[in-house]
Amino acid sequence: MKEYKVIAVSEGVIGTIFLGESKIPIKKLEERLNEEAEEGWRPICQVIEHRRLLLFWSRESVIVTLEREKGE
Protein backbone atom coordinates (compact mmCIF):
# COMPACT_ATOMS: atom_id res chain seq x y z
CA MET A 1 0.00 0.00 0.00
CA LYS A 2 1.29 3.47 -0.86
CA GLU A 3 0.58 6.89 0.60
CA TYR A 4 0.86 10.26 -1.11
CA LYS A 5 1.68 13.83 -0.15
CA VAL A 6 1.43 17.06 -2.16
CA ILE A 7 3.71 20.05 -1.53
CA ALA A 8 3.82 23.49 -3.14
CA VAL A 9 6.79 25.85 -3.44
CA SER A 10 6.00 29.35 -4.76
CA GLU A 11 8.03 32.25 -6.07
CA GLY A 12 8.46 35.21 -3.73
CA VAL A 13 5.70 37.75 -3.16
CA ILE A 14 7.96 40.84 -3.03
CA GLY A 15 9.62 40.11 -6.38
CA THR A 16 6.26 39.39 -7.97
CA ILE A 17 4.66 42.63 -6.78
CA PHE A 18 7.58 45.02 -7.35
CA LEU A 19 9.28 43.44 -10.36
CA GLY A 20 6.26 41.87 -12.03
CA GLU A 21 7.85 38.44 -11.89
CA SER A 22 10.22 36.40 -9.83
CA LYS A 23 11.90 33.01 -10.06
CA ILE A 24 10.90 29.71 -8.51
CA PRO A 25 13.24 29.40 -5.51
CA ILE A 26 15.27 26.41 -6.71
CA LYS A 27 17.36 26.20 -3.53
CA LYS A 28 14.22 26.18 -1.36
CA LEU A 29 12.64 23.48 -3.57
CA GLU A 30 15.81 21.41 -3.43
CA GLU A 31 16.01 21.68 0.38
CA ARG A 32 12.35 20.74 0.76
CA LEU A 33 12.69 17.70 -1.51
CA ASN A 34 15.79 16.55 0.39
CA GLU A 35 13.91 16.87 3.71
CA GLU A 36 11.05 14.79 2.34
CA ALA A 37 13.46 12.21 0.89
CA GLU A 38 14.95 11.67 4.35
CA GLU A 39 11.47 10.59 5.48
CA GLY A 40 11.15 8.14 2.58
CA TRP A 41 9.15 10.30 0.15
CA ARG A 42 10.00 10.35 -3.56
CA PRO A 43 8.60 12.68 -6.23
CA ILE A 44 6.37 11.09 -8.85
CA CYS A 45 4.73 14.09 -10.51
CA GLN A 46 5.44 17.81 -10.85
CA VAL A 47 3.43 20.65 -12.40
CA ILE A 48 3.86 24.41 -12.55
CA GLU A 49 0.75 26.38 -11.66
CA HIS A 50 -0.01 30.08 -11.95
CA ARG A 51 -1.74 31.29 -8.79
CA ARG A 52 -3.47 34.63 -8.39
CA LEU A 53 -1.81 37.09 -6.02
CA LEU A 54 -4.04 39.93 -4.88
CA LEU A 55 -5.95 41.53 -7.79
CA PHE A 56 -3.39 42.22 -10.50
CA TRP A 57 -0.54 39.74 -10.10
CA SER A 58 -0.02 36.04 -10.44
CA ARG A 59 2.91 33.93 -9.37
CA GLU A 60 4.17 30.52 -10.26
CA SER A 61 4.16 27.59 -7.89
CA VAL A 62 5.69 24.16 -8.32
CA ILE A 63 3.26 21.49 -7.14
CA VAL A 64 5.00 18.18 -6.42
CA THR A 65 3.27 14.89 -5.64
CA LEU A 66 5.32 12.59 -3.40
CA GLU A 67 4.89 8.87 -2.81
CA ARG A 68 6.16 6.32 -0.28
CA GLU A 69 5.29 2.90 1.00
CA LYS A 70 2.77 3.13 3.85
CA GLY A 71 4.34 2.56 7.25
CA GLU A 72 7.79 4.03 6.51
Strand partners, 19: none
Q: Which residues contact 19 (CB under 8 A, 6 or more apart)?
A: none
Q: How far apart are the first and last CA of the chain?
A: 11
User: Beta strands 42-53 and 57-69: pairing type?
Assistant: antiparallel
- Rg (alpha carbons) of the chain, rounded to whole number: 14
Q: Over the stretch 7-58, which tens digit does the pLDDT of each residue have? A: 988 866 554 445 555 567 788 889 999 999 999 999 999 888 877 666 666 6
Give the mean pLDDT of 55-68: 82
3-state SS class at 61: strand
Name the residue type at position 62: V
